[in-house]
Amino acid sequence: MSGKFIIFGATGSIGSSLAEQLKNSGMKNVHLVARNETDVKAISDKLGFTYTVADVLEDGFIEKIKTEINEVIGIAYCVGSIDLKPIRMVTEEDFNKCMKLNLYSAVEVIKGFQESLKKNKGSVVLFSTVAAQRGFTNHSIIASAKAAVEGLTVSLAAEFAPHIRVNCIAPSLTKSKIAQPMLKNSALAEGIAKAHPLKRLGEGKDSASLAKFLITEESSWITGQIIAVDGGRSKLS
């Protein structure tokens, strides 16, 4: 099969773990995308993958990537944010930026590589959050954006079948750089961990393992699914 797997958000906790897991499974055809050149180059050098430095919030980012890669067999859009504010403090700009990062740019990515994905019977893996289905205080921004990602997932899975599979992973709080403002308070972090039936926070490898399964042919009969990786948070507590 020709083409590459592209990991967006490749320097994050989940994206970098996915890259490592694909490498460990013998994959060499992986392309990394991230905005921090120092970090993505370090991962690229370690794993032997190609990469593009690009920010999904900037205009023309898809064209920049397509100058370096054309044929695609899988996309993992491991991009996310944690935007927590009470609704009285939320602005239209807050919603617009969050939607751009999590939804609009994901759409641009899929449209940009749609024909190649179709030709190669590829797979798309998107990311939501437990907060899209479970109500949490101060989560209106990110919950709204990620709920839209879930709607996009099932819509595109129907539209693209049988040529392209589209699935979505919905993690609970995962140890990562973007979660550090919440986790630097050890008492708060411990309390959040205990709120999960499995009594711990997520790690990048937890969601990455599922992403690896969904992006490859191992999951060839799975599409249109929103799958929780949340320590039981969405169903059991």
Pairing of strands 72-77, 4-8: parallel
In a domain, 132, yes or no: yes
pLDDT (0 to 100) of residue 181: 86
In a domain, 71, yes or no: yes
**Number of domains observed in the structure of the chain:** 1
In a domain, 197, yes or no: no
d(CA 56, CA 60) in angstroms, rounded, equals: 9
The tens digit of pLDDT for each residue in 110-122 reads: 999 999 999 999 9
pLDDT less than 70: residues of the chain: 1
Residue 43 domain boundaries? 4-173+205-236
In a domain, 54, yes or no: yes
**Paired tokens of 5:** 């797997």
Residue 2: CB atoms within 10 A of its CB come to 11
pLDDT (0 to 100) of residue 155: 98
In a domain, 193, yes or no: no
In a domain, 134, yes or no: yes
- CATH number, domain with residue 96: 3.40.50.720
d(CA 209, CA 189) in angstroms, rounded, equals: 23
- Please tell me the pTM assigned to this model: 0.96
